[in-house]
Structure 1
Amino acid sequence: MTGRTRPTRAETRRRILDAAFAVFGEQGIAATKLTEVAAAAGLTKGAVYSSFASKDELVLALMEEHAAHRLEASLASFAEADDGGAGLANVAAVLMYEMRADAVWHRLLAEFFAMAHHDDRRRDALRRRRREVRDTIARALNRLAEGLDLELPLPAEEFAIVLLALSNGLAVEADIDDEAVPDGLLGKVLTLIAGDAVAKVQAASDLAAQPQPEQKSPSSPRKR
């Protein structure tokens, strides 16, 4: 009879993050104790502290992971599209889906932002993590632009801020009044921002794909 194997550090971290999302989403960050997260994960409080030094660190890790997931899904949909215009639509569709399906993430971000407003330590920690997220998004946007030979309409660092601000802001408005945010709104905004660049790339691609007319060799002069 084989004994029970202990979960790996990665498995423990995953269980804690999943439990934290569920408990924070139900009770809010401020009202939740780490002992409750540990109990929901089926772990001890010590196991939680071995992965995360504090509740704040756990919250920030959740937000960072979620931003990375949304980015990965959105950019993958762009890269898989046949053309840039469809790619923009796919990115917008993925972001809108994530925004509506995971509205709790935006509530958690809003709550932690409010908690950090009068707390310099929390505000600095949030600022550092958000910079890391923006840097990750900017690097991914640059790689995508290079791979597709696409000129971004804004510097990647600024475009990353715009993407985060749009998705977060629309999520808040949708959470207040879902009917106020139609599904295609983000796609329209992205097209306004990046449509010209995508159109130029697509036009160049279409031109390169067209068969070139055969060049006739100059006829040799007739002999008299």
Structure 2
Amino acid sequence: MPKGTTKRRPRTRAALLDAALAVFAEHGFQAATIEQVCAAAGFTRGAFYSNFSSKEELFLALFDQHSKHILERLDAALGAVPAGELTLPRLVELISVVEPAERDWYLVTTEFTLHAIRDPQAAWVLARHDASLREALAQGLTACLARAGLALTVPAEEVARLLIALREGGLAQSYVEPEELPPGALERRFLAPLLAAVTEERAH
């Protein structure tokens, strides 16, 4: 493979991912076509198939990219909190941030989840990616709570599931009634007492 092609490949892949998110959010995952994604990115079908084998693989790449972004954002925000100043309210404040661009991702991932519920193979694959995200969240949460002098009294993976359920369920209501329930409002109100109920002071 020529060196120029090798250097262009990451840029081509990134452009296809950006285009896919916009196209999927506008038209829906099922209705959107590979041709629409290629047109939005300014590439041919050949460029698409050099990077992805299907729309499903494209979505899963978006899923991993979004997960990486969320985890890196949280890690940076938490890392900026001075030692000894991380408390449950501060942790909840950082977790509750919902970026404006999250709406497009919510539309895309919700539709793919419905697709996966109907398709056992898609469900199996999505579950593997969900599990990787939960594991990273569980590890990060355990480390953050340790910095706050706390330890979970229940499995961290179960708490990660609950955090995801609270976020996704809250956003479903927020995007329908944004004035009644701004994004992140449920986390800001209920997450601190919830975490307090499943944590204890760490033994020294």
Normalised by the length of structure 2, the TM-score is 0.82
Aligned CA distance change for structure 1 residues 136 and 8 (closer, same or farther; 3 Å)? farther
Report how far residue 19 of structure 1 moved.
0.7
Q: Which residue of 1 aligns with 2:190?
A: 189
C-alpha distance in 2 between matches for 1:83 and 1:138 = 17
Give the secondary-structure state (helix, strand or coil) at the position aligned to 2:29.
coil
Aligned CA distance change for structure 1 residues 111 and 34 (closer, same or farther; 3 Å)? same
Aligned CA distance change for structure 1 residues 134 and 197 (closer, same or farther; 3 Å)? closer
Aligned length in residues: 196
Aligned CA distance change for structure 1 residues 148 and 170 (closer, same or farther; 3 Å)? same
Higher radius of gyration, 1 or 2: 1
Q: Which residue of 2 aligns with 1:45?
A: 45
Aligned CA distance change for structure 1 residues 145 and 121 (closer, same or farther; 3 Å)? same
Report how far residue 153 of structure 1 moved.
5.0
Q: Which residue of 2 aligns with 1:36?
A: 36
Q: Which residue of 2 aligns with 1:218?
A: none
Aligned CA distance change for structure 1 residues 91 and 101 (closer, same or farther; 3 Å)? same
Aligned CA distance change for structure 1 residues 142 and 161 (closer, same or farther; 3 Å)? same
Q: How does 1:146-165 map to 2 (within 5 A)?
A: 146=146, 149-152=149-152, 154-165=154-165
C-alpha distance in 1 between matches for 2:20 and 2:102 = 14
C-alpha distance in 1 between matches for 2:159 and 2:33 = 37
Give the secondary-structure state (helix, strand or coil) at the position aligned to 2:179.
helix
C-alpha distance in 1 between matches for 2:78 and 2:194 = 15
Give the secondary-structure state (helix, strand or coil) at the position aligned to 1:151.
strand
User: Which letter maps to 1:92?
Assistant: I
* 1:80-117 deviation per Cα after TM superposition (whole angstroms, max 9, x unaligned): 333313532432342xx23x542121121221122222
Q: Is the 8 A contact 2:19 2:40 kept in 1?
A: yes
Identity %: 34
Cα RMSD, aligned residues only: 2.7
Q: Which residue of 1 aligns with 2:95?
A: 92
C-alpha distance in 1 between matches for 2:172 and 2:112 = 14
Q: Which residue of 2 aligns with 1:70?
A: 70
Give the secondary-structure state (helix, strand or coil) at the position aligned to 2:70.
helix
Give the secondary-structure state (helix, strand or coil) at the position aligned to 1:10.
helix
Detail structure 1 runs of 4+ shifted over 4 Å in the superposition.
145-149, 196-201
Normalised by the length of structure 1, the TM-score is 0.75
